[in-house]
Structure 1
Amino acid sequence: MQAFKRKGRGLLPPAMALLVAAGCHTDHAARFEQLTEDEKRLPENATLGLDIRDGLEVGLMASEPMLLNPTNIDVDDRGRVWVNEAYNYRPTLNGNPTTDKGDRILILEDADHDGVLDQRTVFYQGPEINAPLGICVLGNRVIVSQSPYVWDFYDDNGDGKADRKEILFQGIGGEQHDHGVHAFVFGPDGKLYFNFGNECHTLLDRDGNIVTDQDGDGITNKKYRQGMVFRCDIDGSNVEVLGHNFRNNYELAVDSYGTIWQSDNDDDGNRAVRINYVMEYGNYGYSDELTGAGWRENRTNLEDSIPLQHWHLNDPGVVPNLLQTGAGSPTGMLVYEGDMLPKEFRNQIVHSDAGPNIIRSYPVERDGAGYRASILNLLKGRDQWFRPSDVCVAPDGSLIIADWYDPGVGGHQAGDQTRGRIYRIARSVSKYRIPSPDYSSVEGAIHALQSPNLSVRYNAWVSLSDQGSKAVPQLEKLFHSNGNDRMRARALWLLTKIDKGDTYLLEGLQDSNPDIRITAIRAAQQTRKNIIPYIAPLSKDKNVQVRRACAIALRHVKDPQAAELWATLASQHDGKDRWYLEALGIGAEGQWDSFFTAFLEINRDAVKTDAGRDIIWRARTETAVPLLAQLAGDSSVGLKSRLRYFRAFDFIPGEVKAQALLAMIRPGDSGDDLQLNSIILRALDTKVVMESKSASDVLHTLLDAVYGKPEYIDLVTQYELKSEVPRLLELVVSRASSSIGHRAAGLLFQLQAEKQVKEALKQQPDSIITAIGPVGMERSVDMLENLMLSRSSNDEIRRLSAAVLGKSMAGEDRVLSLLKTHAIPEELIPVAVEGLKNTWRKAIYAEARSYLPGTENNPDAAAEVLTEAELMASKGNIEKGKTVFQANCATCHQVNGQGQDFGPKLSQIGAKLPKTALLDAIVNPSAGISFGYETSVITTKNGATLMGIVSSRTELEVTIRFMGGVSQSFKMAEIASVKETKESMMPPLQHTMSKGQLVDLIEYLASLK
């Protein structure tokens, strides 16, 4: 154990100088703004940069060098703060130093109870610990989430040091990845809950075997998509997948009723960060449920805005979002069930979001079968280095905050390894006294069970569970009390686990509080093999959320009565409540044929009501196809309103669907007919279209209508129409310098039409050569090389071929290879080298320049780089910076919808990164590539080498986005390899602009909030 005194840099000064209290925000704000940048970073000024909610105080409990880079914390029943550190975070990307000893797990303690953590114990440090993302303290057991492992550490002798460790789970994604496995939490049902992000694709047990889910299926990305939510027994057995298709669901929270809440991050810059109520077994829509395609892929009934498109919210089978919070980097979460915070925060979600430097709450209200929420700030950082990575509840009801404290916000990059802070929020932070709970007696354990702190509740649960029937009278007393219903729910969970009879379960099912009835349904699901007798009496409950729980409980229940019960529940849908509709869909999964048939028996006019149309839209059975066709083909209703039904066809396979869609094809060429036919063709398999004369005729009519547009190229690619070669050549000639011309040229080589291309070269050499340059296939590069080197080519053709040869990645390599072998004529060397000027691989251009005539290994001299000191001493011009952005950055980035959608959107980048971090992102773009924007090199089987960002990848197709915002899809059968590189495609812009322009650019970016 190491004691820390209150002196020296990074440690706490006397009294409570490090405190922001209610009523002094303005004074602190003014003092903070008067500080220099270096002074703002000092621990003694830490709380000056924070705004706290009225009625509360925030105090700094610990800072560097006591701890560094905290990723996740937990607070044990003694009030000690356990910390995961991340000194070794992503060194191969950001170039930061590391320690061979590995990262640390710390215990920080306030020995004299004055609100300052003054003692530190290193619980464990080892080379296998690298930036762990989760910690959960359960008595003498500590669960540490560290992809690809989840570790169980044990302190057997109680000295604060790990005595042994075991693997709990493994095989979980890549090591040191933000989208890996996250923290475990203890649930009110005595189970463990945890989640992982979309870098993880499977779950293995301690012996390396694939873990099976509640259905007996292996937990892999074959059954589930993207990030997942789990529940398991305390020993890691009986794993259930409770939700999937998240992006990076960082941490979850479970309230006393067993309701699960969590946050999920978006693809950076899309303002689509969300908060979810995790409806058990739901799909949350990050990628296409059936194909796995990314959200940017075109689909029928596409949502109106990117934040909604991002989660496929118009698709049947996607659970709605509770709340979308815009841009951010969401991290730790809890449900606050204490009484120290003001009333508006009690029994509500509290969440840390490191991106906008904030701790906030989301007050939740019932909304039909689901919920709605608003945003209520609790703690806001004016200091943009404040990066709250986690929030926990101490046993006294105060909040403990972990602060990564960094100019950046993860995403594979850390700008500072020397700092880290722990804060505490309370009515008064001058004292921190934690009473010693008594777990040995039933009365003491009952009292501890009502703690807001999960570690206390865990110990209480174990004690009461071990005491069994002895604990029942006191648990019964708590359950029958007229006090806090959440405490009653905690008692009910234990009673249903200890008492194997139905007494307390039936009491819960008949309780006046719908949340208690829901708790009882969930308890019955966990403890009773046959759920039907317990939910049947509630199938017409007046509360729709209770009926929601009943519907979910029917999932995979094979009892003959299940279909009838489901039909009863479905018949109470009001046609407006998407939450209830998705609960019905979850309940019917795998049994749609019988469930939907039972529904139609009592709802014969389903197509005539909003509720019936909803059920038809959500159904996954061929029985629904004729009704879907009736709704989709109803010309008395506008086509836009019918798009949802056409989209629903995508989720029902089979011949019946194909015939229904073919019957809806219209032979006309009016705008409405073309739009309708385009939708139908998208929903049909290629083989079906080509085998149907009517569909094939419509396809060619549609090709005529969309000629010259991206959709034309997509259709020719999808159907491999060699008959379109002449028109593709016309596009190449007329649109040689555009993305359409480049795609048409590439498609010609894909269709093996080189002979026709060579013939066209005789008539239109300039256009053909210009369009071929970016194609990047081996055959297209060969053609350009031959044109450049052939003596039969005239000088103009040779020069143009030399100029465009390096316009693709394969072409760049070819130019350098030809230079090395001195194969390029001397007069063409400057032209060929100039063609490489805009390559993202600057080393290629530098080496090529060394072959310029009269040059001896003389690459570009290093440009002067703007320093942080120069930046902070300067004041840029926002309008001039906007002009610089439009000239240099808008080809890859969007701001408020303007610019190209290639790299992360930057509309709110100023709220996320301070100026110093913006400078680093510009100067060192490869040091912190946002997840989902990694550069990939794609090699096709026909010899093309392409470079871009993989925006969507399914078993059948991969879609690549290229600089300039153009996307292109390739069948997986055409792909030889897809390799991710560690270099950003963003060029080092500091070499292309003056220091003044860079200052202006950063001033503009910093203003985007």
Structure 2
Amino acid sequence: MKLNTFRRRHFTKILSIPLVVASCTILYSYTSLTRQKTIQSPGINGLVPAVGLDIQVMATEPMLKNPTNISVDEKGRVWVTEAYNYRFDITKKPTNPTGDRIMMLEDTNKDGVMDKSTVFYQGPEMNAPLGICVLGKRVIVAQSPYIWAFYDDNEDGKADRKEIMFQGIGGEQHDHGAHAFTFGPDGKLYFNLGNEGKQIRDKNNNPVLDQDGDPIDQNKYRQGMVLRCDPDGSNVEVVASNFRNMFEVAIDSYGTLWQSDNDDDGNKSTRINYVMEYGKFGFNDEMSNASWRSPRTNMEKETPLLHWHQNDPGVVPNLLATGAGSPSGMMVYEGTLLPKIYQNQMIHAEPGNNVVRAYPVTNKGAGYTATIANILTDPTDQWFRPVDVCAAPDGSLIIADWYDPGVGGHQAGDLDKGRIYRVFPIGKNDYTIPVFDFNSAAGLVSALQNANLTVRYKAWVGLQALGTRAIPELEKLWRQKTADSRLRARALWALVKMPGKGSTYIQQAIKDADPNIRIVGLRAARQLKLDVAGTVAKMINDADPQIKRELAIALHHNKDQNAPALWATLAAQNSGTDRWYLEALGIGADNQWDQFFKAYLKKVKNPLKDDGSKDIVWRARTDESLPYLSQLASDEKTPLENRLRYFRAFDFNTGTAKSTHLLKMLDLQNKTPDFTRLVLKHMDSKAVGSSASVQKTLKEVLPSLYGTPEYVDIIDQYKITSENPKLLQLAIEKYNMPIAGTSLAALTESGGSSLITNMLAGNDLEKSKLLLIALGSVGTKESLDLLQSVAFDTKYNLEIRKLSATAIGRSRGGRVRVQELAAAANTPADVLAELKANAPSGPRPGGAVTANIPPPSTGKDLSSLFRELTARKANAAKGKAVFARTCFVCHQVNGAGLDFGPKLSEIGSKLPKEALLENIVNPSNGINFGYETSEISMKDGSMVTGIVFSKTETEVDVKYPGGTTEKLKASDVKSIKELKTSLMPEGLDKTMNKQELADLLEYLSSLKKKS
């Protein structure tokens, strides 16, 4: 098996036979703040827990393999989803035809080491599951395109039956589909779908409807989604959307949601989010669904901001940017065993950075700030890939380690390894699980206070089953003012969900001295739909900014007659310095901006009086705000750069009034050319193109734009045929530049082909030659038809005809056409040689056809090559030169290089040399999501091969090796097929000798995140 022998050097780190592991305890102890290790037993020498913590190996292979997600139950047993068959369609590795397993691991003698394993379920339909949640006798498993519910009716540790809970989520084995479920303090289940989940359907394959009664799909929601539902799968809500790929929702006792999100690989923009309910989180353009890379007004200058559209109105801010990585499982630790710094904080498994860490959070206005505190790292072994973390019933942390040279990305370097660790304070190494009484109200209330979610689930279910008989014991905890606020919150959630009791306890909660409890009361009123507007009215004067945020959110889609005035009162308090609060106000006004903004105008007579009111105008989505938005965008006292945000805001207002106001801006005196161009760009050209004012302005502004891409864009936007002669002139002047092709594409699409043929039929041979060079780069049906007609028509000069025949094969679209013509019987003999000379004989960037794409490699055993390379004395500086020669055309390092494949600035932090070698030699065996090769068939019969990096209703943006891009009209695209082959060429390693390859590996492994 490829790369398997690489792991032999690691076998001394963790003993691979469970019986041996079970007989010893493996611990670290720290004797000082300098983190000097005292190793009591061999086995995990590289793992470094934080000061004050110890670590223990609980289980290792062959007891489990390739763990992807874990859940710890009330008995301290660890349930594991395995992905032995992960991406077998790409990796071509051996698979288990009996399917992947769901394992239950148990420590029967309470020494902290698992000595018993049970296969809970294995079946051929289990195909790389990515999430597991144990809820008593029910086990929920996420495995795209399904969410399965398994039942252990007799509690023997084996599934007795299973049923589909949800389906239709993404494609089979897709990492960006369905992820883990989490039990919330409100009795709800929370889960998320990555950006390839796209939709969710019920067990009968019917569309699942959201809280508004609309189907949950990409027609309404962009990209990845956070959802919640009742335990039986009913009452599904979309809580937030427009993420990329999130692996697990973490929810605290107040009902506040947190999660991480993966960036497009290589862009150092992974993030942590406070999931503001009903918020949109900016992965793609909210209106068009265009990629974050697509040009837009007021684009952010820093990639971590640009990546998530942080300058756009309607995007919830990121809590924390965490750079490069591959964030996975997450939880909120609400136990007391670990040191204070980790209590009540997010704890996160980050396999890309080989670390488990916490994000201590503090309130800041209506939002939060966070820092990073590492819990467990391994600076010596990049195969440490922690993928999930859970709290055990004793309060210790249980961590799953995928243990692999890579970290997902459609690739697994090894199929057989996997580890489970336990982290706990020094001296607390006994894995003693409390005995829970789930039969009495007092026992259930006690269990409700445990750190483990399965324990809390069983307590919740038991308390709800007892009903009013549980209330006295719950009230003891609820009324205990000295108790931990989070424990009181759990009691409150249980009380408000008692039939007929919600209103009583909500009224108590919203008057509580603790703002977090007041928030729970308000959230409970929303969930139960108990006079939400009335509750908001009672709390409207609360000074706490976090409460004000929740009051704004509570008005989301609320139709109460008092809702607009309540919102206006909250909006009038906007300071202009708290983006969290502004976005909460936007969420509250969603779909009701007309009424809400009118109420705001009654309260705030001058909406341009200060930064707070200007931000309301910027965030609004209503015709009522457009006069004020126009004033802000036109304010000559403010530098134009600072007004770009207001021009961008026009894109989020879709009514016809937008263009009317923009049209008026063209009549302003003293307007600058830059200002005029912005106005033209943001208008609806179909609505105002015939306006005399627009036509006059276009005549004035186009001369100043001549020669720029913006010149062609405006001509295309407004369909200005009068500029056709100048488009022809521009194409000849810039014949060898991209603008020449776009100019001629615009010309031919606007009916200007006769200008081209007249030029080619004329006497200016030199200009005609330049024109044909430019025309050969276009590749549209119109341009190819024109070139073919000239090549075949004897009225043209023979040299022009030959040059036309040659030009046909130069474009991505022409490569199919030229093959057909070279073989056609009616092709004129005098241009046949030129056609045959340009018929494709191999793959070409942007123009390869299916037959020319080599099949994916079946993989090579790289063990001996790796040993040979690592035995050499490698030089990173020389490796940098090799990189510049062989990799520079497709990859960037710290901004240098061409932007095509993943950026590699920190690749050495993510991948060890083994995995780097694998990616160089067998690039098709692990293609990162978002960098897959797509074969695009056009309606005109042509074909293009590249990476689709953005797709909207109107455009498909394609990137080719070398970093060049092309916009295709969606209406011209017939189909898009994802290929199994990387555009990175196979055999790249053959272009260098062994020493150069060793030097290249040394250089790549030196590209690490700066501390």
Q: State the TM-score, normalizing by the size of structure 2.
A: 0.91
The answer to whether the aligner puts 1:20 opposite 2:18 as a matched pair is: no
AA aligned to 2:402 is W
2:673 is aligned to: 674
The answer to whether the aligner puts 1:112 opposite 2:109 as a matched pair is: yes
1:3 is aligned to: none
1:703 is aligned to: 702
2:244 is aligned to: 247
Q: Structure 1 residue 865: deviation in Å?
A: 12
Q: How does 1:771-786 map to 2 (within 5 A)?
A: 771-777=774-780, 780=783
Q: Is the 8 A contact 2:99 2:122 kept in 1?
A: yes
1:736 is aligned to: 735
SS in 2 for 1:422: strand
1:401 is aligned to: 399
Q: Indicate how the Cα distance of structure 1 residues 868 and 237 shifts in structure 2: closer, same or farther if over 3 A, else same.
A: same
1:1008 is aligned to: 1007
The answer to whether the aligner puts 1:633 opposite 2:631 as a matched pair is: no
User: Per-residue displacement from partner, 1:372-413 (whole Å, max 9, x unpaired)?
Assistant: 111111111221111111111111111111111111111111
Q: How does 1:425-504 map to 2 (within 5 A)?
A: 425-428=423-426, 430-481=429-480, 482-498=482-498, 500-501=500-501, 502-504=503-505
Q: Structure 1 CA distance, aligned partners of 2:661 and 2:684?
A: 13
Structure 1 window deviating more from structure 2 (652-661 vs 195-204): it is 652-661
Q: Structure 2 CA distance, aligned partners of 1:784 and 1:883?
A: 42
2:64 is aligned to: 67
Q: How does 1:556-705 map to 2 (within 5 A)?
A: 556-665=557-666, 673-705=672-704
SS in 1 for 2:353: coil
User: Per-residue displacement from partner, 1:919-954 (whole Å, max 9, x unpaired)?
Assistant: 221222222222122222233334442222222222
Q: Structure 1 residue 974: deviation in Å?
A: 2.7
AA aligned to 2:436 is P
Q: Structure 1 residue 680: deviation in Å?
A: 1.2
Q: Is the 8 A contact 2:316 2:580 kept in 1?
A: yes
Q: Structure 2 CA distance, aligned partners of 1:841 and 1:100?
A: 38
Q: Is the 8 A contact 2:510 2:522 kept in 1?
A: yes
Q: Structure 1 CA distance, aligned partners of 2:161 and 2:142?
A: 16
1:294 is aligned to: 291
Q: Structure 1 residue 131: deviation in Å?
A: 0.6
* Unaligned stretches of 5+ residues in structure 1: 1-5, 32-43, 849-861
Q: Structure 1 CA distance, aligned partners of 2:140 and 2:752?
A: 60
Q: Indicate how the Cα distance of structure 1 residues 889 and 770 shifts in structure 2: closer, same or farther if over 3 A, else same.
A: farther
Q: Structure 1 CA distance, aligned partners of 2:648 and 2:15?
A: 65
Q: Is the 8 A contact 1:812 1:844 kept in 2?
A: no
1:137 is aligned to: 134
Q: Structure 2 CA distance, aligned partners of 1:781 and 1:716?
A: 22
Q: Structure 1 residue 722: deviation in Å?
A: 3.8
Q: How does 1:519-534 map to 2 (within 5 A)?
A: 519-534=520-535
| Superposition RMSD in Å | 3.1
Q: Is the 8 A contact 1:865 1:990 kept in 2?
A: no
1:768 is aligned to: 771
User: Per-residue displacement from partner, 1:246-267 (whole Å, max 9, x unpaired)?
Assistant: 1112111110000010111111
Q: Structure 1 residue 832: deviation in Å?
A: 4.2
Q: Is the 8 A contact 1:840 1:985 kept in 2?
A: no
Q: State the TM-score, normalizing by the size of structure 1.
A: 0.91
1:998 is aligned to: 997
2:921 is aligned to: 923
Q: Is the 8 A contact 1:617 1:628 kept in 2?
A: yes
Q: Is the 8 A contact 2:846 2:946 kept in 1?
A: no
Q: Structure 1 residue 614: deviation in Å?
A: 1.2
Structure 1 window deviating more from structure 2 (514-523 vs 781-790): it is 781-790
Q: Indicate how the Cα distance of structure 1 residues 25 and 1001 shifts in structure 2: closer, same or farther if over 3 A, else same.
A: farther
Q: How does 1:536-575 map to 2 (within 5 A)?
A: 536-575=537-576
1:231 is aligned to: 228
Q: Is the 8 A contact 1:265 1:330 kept in 2?
A: yes
1:903 is aligned to: 901
Q: Structure 2 CA distance, aligned partners of 1:124 and 1:837?
A: 45
Q: Is the 8 A contact 1:12 1:62 kept in 2?
A: no
SS in 1 for 2:577: coil
Q: Is the 8 A contact 2:815 2:942 kept in 1?
A: no
* Unaligned stretches of 5+ residues in structure 2: 1-13, 855-859
The answer to whether the aligner puts 1:985 opposite 2:983 as a matched pair is: yes
SS in 1 for 2:376: strand
SS in 1 for 2:497: helix
Q: Indicate how the Cα distance of structure 1 residues 17 and 189 shifts in structure 2: closer, same or farther if over 3 A, else same.
A: closer
1:756 is aligned to: 755
1:890 is aligned to: 888
Structure 1 window deviating more from structure 2 (512-521 vs 615-624): it is 615-624
Q: Structure 1 CA distance, aligned partners of 2:614 and 2:163?
A: 53
Q: Structure 2 CA distance, aligned partners of 1:780 and 1:528?
A: 61
SS in 1 for 2:387: strand
Q: Structure 1 residue 879: deviation in Å?
A: 2.5
Q: Is the 8 A contact 2:21 2:113 kept in 1?
A: no
Match of residue 325, structure 1, among 318, 322, 326: 322
Q: Is the 8 A contact 1:910 1:1006 kept in 2?
A: yes
The answer to whether the aligner puts 1:963 opposite 2:961 as a matched pair is: yes
User: Per-residue displacement from partner, 1:737-765 (whole Å, max 9, x unpaired)?
Assistant: 33223433444444454443344444435
Q: Structure 2 CA distance, aligned partners of 1:843 and 1:51?
A: 51
Structure 1 window deviating more from structure 2 (395-404 vs 698-707): it is 698-707
Match of residue 869, structure 2, among 855, 867, 871: 871
Structure 1 window deviating more from structure 2 (949-958 vs 864-873): it is 864-873
Q: Structure 2 CA distance, aligned partners of 1:69 and 1:801?
A: 57
1:384 is aligned to: 382
Q: Structure 2 CA distance, aligned partners of 1:782 and 1:505?
A: 72
Q: Structure 2 CA distance, aligned partners of 1:192 and 1:77?
A: 18
Q: Structure 1 residue 228: deviation in Å?
A: 0.7
Q: Structure 1 residue 151: deviation in Å?
A: 0.7
SS in 2 for 1:540: coil
SS in 1 for 2:84: coil
Q: Indicate how the Cα distance of structure 1 residues 458 and 155 shifts in structure 2: closer, same or farther if over 3 A, else same.
A: same
AA aligned to 2:115 is D
Structure 1 window deviating more from structure 2 (531-540 vs 137-146): it is 531-540
AA aligned to 1:521 is L
Q: Is the 8 A contact 1:804 1:835 kept in 2?
A: no
Q: Is the 8 A contact 1:806 1:836 kept in 2?
A: no
Q: Structure 1 residue 8: deviation in Å?
A: 5.9
SS in 1 for 2:653: coil
Q: Indicate how the Cα distance of structure 1 residues 599 and 663 shifts in structure 2: closer, same or farther if over 3 A, else same.
A: same
AA aligned to 1:93 is I
Q: Structure 1 CA distance, aligned partners of 2:178 and 2:853?
A: 43
Match of residue 221, structure 1, among 213, 218, 221: 218
User: Per-residue displacement from partner, 1:810-863 (whole Å, max 9, x unpaired)?
Assistant: 444456667778999998799547985755899999899xxxxxxxxxxxxx9x
SS in 2 for 1:921: helix
Q: Structure 1 residue 965: deviation in Å?
A: 2.6
Q: Structure 1 residue 522: deviation in Å?
A: 0.8
Q: Indicate how the Cα distance of structure 1 residues 639 and 46 shifts in structure 2: closer, same or farther if over 3 A, else same.
A: farther
Q: Structure 1 residue 300: deviation in Å?
A: 1.7
Q: Structure 2 CA distance, aligned partners of 1:376 and 1:469?
A: 43
Structure 1 window deviating more from structure 2 (700-709 vs 830-839): it is 830-839
Match of residue 123, structure 1, among 80, 98, 120: 120
Structure 1 window deviating more from structure 2 (815-824 vs 803-812): it is 815-824
Q: Indicate how the Cα distance of structure 1 residues 931 and 750 shifts in structure 2: closer, same or farther if over 3 A, else same.
A: farther
1:855 is aligned to: none
Q: Structure 2 CA distance, aligned partners of 1:620 and 1:839?
A: 42
Number of paired residues? 976
Q: Structure 2 CA distance, aligned partners of 1:77 and 1:353?
A: 26
SS in 2 for 1:349: strand
Q: Is the 8 A contact 2:853 2:981 kept in 1?
A: no
Q: Structure 2 CA distance, aligned partners of 1:355 and 1:720?
A: 48
2:3 is aligned to: none
1:34 is aligned to: none
Q: Indicate how the Cα distance of structure 1 residues 7 and 610 shifts in structure 2: closer, same or farther if over 3 A, else same.
A: closer
Q: Is the 8 A contact 1:806 1:835 kept in 2?
A: no
1:146 is aligned to: 143
